[in-house]
């Protein structure tokens, strides 16, 4: 599919309500899909043993039950802890996801985990294509798309990660790189019902650096344009997350940007005070 150029870098798409996709009067400045709750994802990465992770899950559950934040919450523990954390959060408002899955449903793939296995542990989501997987395991767009498709076969929501390197950003290629990644990583049958997209500029992950508001708005506006070009009006309902050094100090500003429908949070998701502050920053819609 040819990649269309947005009319301008900060284009805000026409928005529709969740039911039926019928056009409605709207304010072109709101930059979000009416009724769509933002999603805050805690990616715990390779952190935590069982006791501390269960204690963290208990704190997260208590927060969600006490404050009922105006967003959806998801945590993605290490594979060894998924089942225990899923049991600890069962019946709460916090969903559980995996950090990766294989492209195949089963087979001789030592050390890998099939999407159905992730779901069997109590997960509803799985992250695919995180920059650390792309960097450390050589995963390309085709493989990421195949993993997302495998997630769909298992009934999971795939969180497809994209993002440019510092060199690509400095060369003025950020939008070109992200557009190509989105095109190459988009799963077969991808839709709002089974796919979330997370923009994580590689140079911002864990560094304390974040893009400017204008830079985030430009990439998210571009992703929205490309997804709507692919899906039609359904593309307005695909959640687009921002990730990369999201914390309590910048969450409110980031979550107010048009077409930012939540955040993929790394280090700040390991402390209840930080994760709770980010969740409190969500925009009621």
- pLDDT of res. 31: 63
Longest dimension (CA), the chain: 54
Quote the CA–CA distance of 226 and 215 in Å, as a whole number. 17
**pLDDT of 12 higher than 60:** no
**pLDDT of 4 higher than 80:** no
Share of the chain above pLDDT 90, in %: 84
**48-82 residues labelled b (16+ CB within 10 A) or e (exposed):** beeeebbebbeebbebbeeeebebbbbbbbbbebb
**pLDDT of 265 higher than 90:** yes
Which residue reads 């994209």 in tokens? Answer: 162
**pLDDT of 27 higher than 50:** no
Identify the H or E element spanning 197. Answer: strand 195-199
**pLDDT of 198 higher than 80:** yes
- pLDDT of res. 276: 98
Give the count of alpha carbons within 13 A of 271, CB side only: 9
What DSSP string runs through 227-284? HHHHHGGGGGGS-EEEESS--TTTHHHHHTSTT--EEEESGGGGSHHHHHHHHHTPPP
**pLDDT of 15 higher than 50:** no
- pLDDT of res. 26: 25
Mean pLDDT (the chain, rounded): 89
Catalytic residue among 175, 200, 220, 236: 200
Share of the chain above pLDDT 70, in %: 88
- pLDDT of res. 32: 67
Is residue 55 very low, low, confident or very high in pLDDT (cuts 50, 70, 90)? very high
Catalytic residue among 130, 152, 220, 236: 130
User: Phi and psi (nearest 5°) for 262?
Assistant: 145, -170
**pLDDT of 162 higher than 90:** yes
Domains in the chain with CATH codes: 40-102+117-280 (3.20.20.70)
**pLDDT of 156 higher than 70:** yes
What DSSP string runs through 97-121? EES---SSSSSS-TT---HHHHHHT
CB 128 within 8 A of CB 158: yes
* Catalytic-residue membership of 130: yes
- pLDDT of res. 206: 81
């Amino acid at each position: 599919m040819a990649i269309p150029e947005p009319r301008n870098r900060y284009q805000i798409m026409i928005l529709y309500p969740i039911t039926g996709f019928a056009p409605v009067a709207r304010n072109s400045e709101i930059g979000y899909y009416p009724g769509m709750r933002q999603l805050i994802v805690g990616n715990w990465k390779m952190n935590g043993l069982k006791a501390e992770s269960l204690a963290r899950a208990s704190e997260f559950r208590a927060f969600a039950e006490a404050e009922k934040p105006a967003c959806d919450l998801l945590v993605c523990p290490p594979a060894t802890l998924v089942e225990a954390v899923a049991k600890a959060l069962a019946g709460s408002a916090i969903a559980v996801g995996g950090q990766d899955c294989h492209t195949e449903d089963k087979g001789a793939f030592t050390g890998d985990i099939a999407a159905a296995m992730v779901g069997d542990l109590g997960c509803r989501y799985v992250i695919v294509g995180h920059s650390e997987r792309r960097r450390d395991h050589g995963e390309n767009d085709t493989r990421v798309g195949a993993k997302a498709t495998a997630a769909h076969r298992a009934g999971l929501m795939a969180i497809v990660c994209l993002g440019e390197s510092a060199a690509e950003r400095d060369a003025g290629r950020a939008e070109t790189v992200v557009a190509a990644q989105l095109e190459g990583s988009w799963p077969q049958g991808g839709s709002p019902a089974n796919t979330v997209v997370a923009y994580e500029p590689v140079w911002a992950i864990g560094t304390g650096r974040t893009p400017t508001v204008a830079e985030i708005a430009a990439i998210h506006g571009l992703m929205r344009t490309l997804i709507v070009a692919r899906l039609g009006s359904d593309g307005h309902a695909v959640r687009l997350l921002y990730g990369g050094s999201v914390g309590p100090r910048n969450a409110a500003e980031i979550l107010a940007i048009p077409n930012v429908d939540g955040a993929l949070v790394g280090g700040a998701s390991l402390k209840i005070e930080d994760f709770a502050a980010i969740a409190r920053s969500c925009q009621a819609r």
